[in-house]
Structure 1
Amino acid sequence: MLTVTRKCLNQKWIEPLFKQATAIFAGLVFILLAAILISLVMGSWESIQRFGASFLWETHWDPVQEQYGAIVPIIGTIITACIALFIAVPISFGIATFLTELVPDCLKRPVGIAIEMLAAIPSIIYGMWGLFIFVPLFQEHIQPVLIEHLGELPVLDLLFSGAPFGIGLFTAGLVLAIMIIPFISSIMRDVFSVVPPMLKESAYGLGSTTWEVIWKVVVPYTRTGLIGSIMLGLGRALGETMAITFVIGNAFQLPTSLFSPSTSIASAIANEFNEAGGLQKSALMELGLLLFVITTTVLIISRLMISRMQRVQGK
């Protein structure tokens, strides 16, 4: 009887305490987000007052003349992230498909471990590899060929032109793609693994090929997870700093092609923040605020896309 009474008392006190503790932990997330946003706004307030909305489309970044504009790093951030997704998503989809549907048992574990090891490599290592290994190779052997053959075609001459510097937007996007492939492919693999085997076996029984099973059964069943994995990779690409800083060129100039040196929001902050002061520091803080807004917008768009897909599936 005493044991039962003690158990009831424990449940009476522990259960409400547990609920309050979890509510506090959940509330800390919103407190941290609010604190980050407030600190960014306060730090960039001088720049906001000085430049107003023109900060978003001004191209000049001149600490001597105290003229600052964000359009160059914004364009650099978006272009490199789009290049990274364009390269990484098909490769990640192929890796996930191979690991879940086609890989022999003897290779499944080694390939999975290799992908996890790629995800564990620090970003600065990717940047050093890109600068000292990939950039010279790209400058001497790959970029001249692309400029010679694609730079003469209509429309493509706007993308693949200029001098073969090796560094630039395309190189930065390619390094980013290599960085985010492990994250996207790992999530896609996990998502593909939850598809009920009965659905795939039924499709195979009806005479479907492996490609038809993947495209008509697995992808529709897991498309919300696929969108989530792509958005996670996009978020990683938008906020990457050190790897981009090594290979993008760090030039505050509007790009004329994919091979042009430029800069991104994260690399601009990393390069100048330690030596910045006054208005320049405030402008860099406003760049950080813009990056916060961009990543938040991407998150909202992804949630809206997933919610719409779920509603369509419910119908």
Structure 2
Amino acid sequence: MQQAVPAATLSSSRRRGNVGDAIFAGLAVASGVFVLLLLGSLILSLFIGGLPAFSAFGFGFLWSSTWDPVKQVFGAAVSVYGTVITSVLALILAVPLAFGIAFFLTELAPNWMRRPIGTAIELLAAIPSIIYGMWGFFVIVPLMSQYIQPPLIDAFDGIPLLQDLFSGPPFGTGIFTAALILAVMVIPFIAATMRDVFETVPPVYKESAYGVGCTTWEVMRSIVLPYTRVSVVGGIMLGLGRALGETMAVTFVIGNANHISPNLFAAGNTIASLVALEFPESPAGSLKLASLLALGFILFVISFIVLAVSRALLRPKLKV
């Protein structure tokens, strides 16, 4: 027969539990507030640092394509254009490949093959960006200049619009090469996320679809993708965030030229690569340093806009 627990012991245990809950709740709140304070301090420091540039050039700083340290005239248009176009091209190249990898690993690959390929994808995500940059400069750039760019330039010569996108001397470097390197870098993040969320689909859903005669692709299109669309979009946004802020890999292969051109083979610049190149040569308190900090603030705003748009796109689907 069990003995009754004294009331004093129960009361003491309850008090200790309440104290532990209060401490845990306080630590959780402090962690959340710390994240907000850290984010706010980053935004505020970038804005205050870039305020002299915004004051000197006004809103024209956003769409000015001039970057002249000699005349102390600076604009963000070239680097903003390069950042957006390389990131968008990288996603266009990376998402189909990442989906194919995830689809193969979850639906088609034999069990003995899934683990080695999954581990290889995770290892690709761990490679430092400067290694990708060196690989791109010494391997991809020569291949682009000798075997990819010349045939494309000849094939699209004389075709409206396409000849403007693919033209010029085949140097190997440029916006398209930078986008290709970024695509290789973000594929592991997107593919790993897709693979993990595809595996969370309850097997009974897929088995039921197979039972009524669906093919593997029909199961993926009608069952897996609708079930995991929120997480899939989240993985794509994760890859986009990596592409927007990438620095050294892009700096190696983009050509680092401050002009806007519709030609994808032309040299360009991104916000991160321009800051990496120009920051060491910017004296403290100079207008150039303020312009670089303003570019950092603009990059932060771009990332925030991308996140907000992705949430807005998902919200109607989440209500279904």
Class of the TM-score when normalised by the shorter of the 2 chains: over 0.9
1:153-198 deviation line (CA, Å, top 9, x unaligned): 2221111111101000000000000000000000001111111111
CA distance in 1, matches of 2:205, 2:263: 46
Distance (whole Å) between structure 2 residues aligned to residue 32 and residue 66 of structure 1: 32
How far the C-alpha of 1:261 sits from its partner, in A, is: 0.2
Structure 1 partner of 2:3? none
Residue 109 (structure 1) aligned with residue 115 (structure 2): yes
Aligned-pair distance for 1:243?
A: 0.5
CA–CA separation in structure 1 for the residues paired with 2:24 and 2:115: 39
- Match of residue 289 from structure 1: 297
Partner of 2:149: 143
AA matched with 2:184: I
SS of residue matched to 1:161? coil
Comparing 143-152 with 180-189, greater Cα deviation is found at: 143-152
| 1:71 Cα deviation from its structure 2 partner | 0.4
What aligned pairs does 1:106-255 form with structure 2 within 5 A after superposition?
Answer: 106-255=112-261
**1:3 shift after superposition:** 4.5
Q: Distance in 1 between matches of 2:157 and 2:124?
A: 33
Aligned: 1:271 with 2:282: no
Aligned: 1:75 with 2:81: yes
Return the alpha-carbon distance in structure 2 between the equivalents of residues 118 and 152 of structure 1: 40
Match of 1:90 among 62, 84, 96: 96
Deviation at 1:199, TM superposition (A): 1.1
Find the counterpart in structure 2 of residue 21 from structure 1: 27
Identity %: 50
Q: Which amino acid counterpart does residue 151 of structure 2 have in structure 1?
A: V
Q: Secondary structure at the match of 1:258?
A: coil
TM-score by length of 2: 0.95
What is the TM-score with the length of structure 1 in the denominator? 0.97
* Equivalent position amino acid for 2:85 in 1: I
Question: Which residue number in structure 2 is paired with residue 309 of structure 1?
Answer: 317
**Distance in 2 (alpha carbons) for counterparts of 1:164 and 1:269:** 26
Structure 2 CA distance for aligned equivalents of residues 226 and 244 of structure 1: 25
CA distance in 2, matches of 1:119, 1:152: 40
Gapped regions of structure 1 (runs ≥ 5): none
Q: Which has the larger radius of gyration?
A: 2
Partners of 2:159 and 2:206 in 1: CA distance: 44
> 1:130 deviation in Å?
0.2
Offset from partner CA, 1:117-172 (integer Å, 9 cap, x none): 10010111000000011101111111111111123322211111111010000000
User: How does 1:4-83 map onto structure 2 within 5 Å?
Assistant: 4-83=10-89
Q: Deviation per CA, 1:64-88: give whole Å up to 9, x if none.
A: 0001011000110011001100000
Q: Which amino acid aligns with 1:177?
A: A
Instruction: Look up the equivalent residue of 2:131 and give its one-letter code.
Output: I
Measure the CA separation in 2 of the matches of 1:256 and 1:234. Answer: 21
- Number of positions where the alignment pairs a residue of Structure 1 with one of Structure 2: 312
**1:298 is aligned to 2:306:** yes
Matches of 1:230 and 1:158 in 2, distance apart? 29
Contact in 2 for aligned 1:151/1:159 (Cα 8 Å): no
Offset of residue 308 of structure 1: 1.8
More displaced stretch, 145-154 vs 164-173:
145-154
69-78 or 216-225: bigger deviation = 216-225
The residue that corresponds to 2:265 in the other structure is 259
Give the 3-state SS of the residue equivalent to 1:287 in structure 2: helix
Deviations 1:39-79 (A, max 9, x none): 01110111011000000111110000001011000110011
Partner of 1:97, secondary structure, is helix
1:233 Cα deviation after fit: 0.8
SS at 1:223 equivalent: helix
Q: 2:157, 2:88 → 1: CA distance?
A: 20
Supply the AA of the counterpart residue of 1:125.
I
Aligned equivalents of 2:81 and 2:75: distance in 1?
Answer: 12
Give the residue type in structure 2 aligned to 1:18.
F
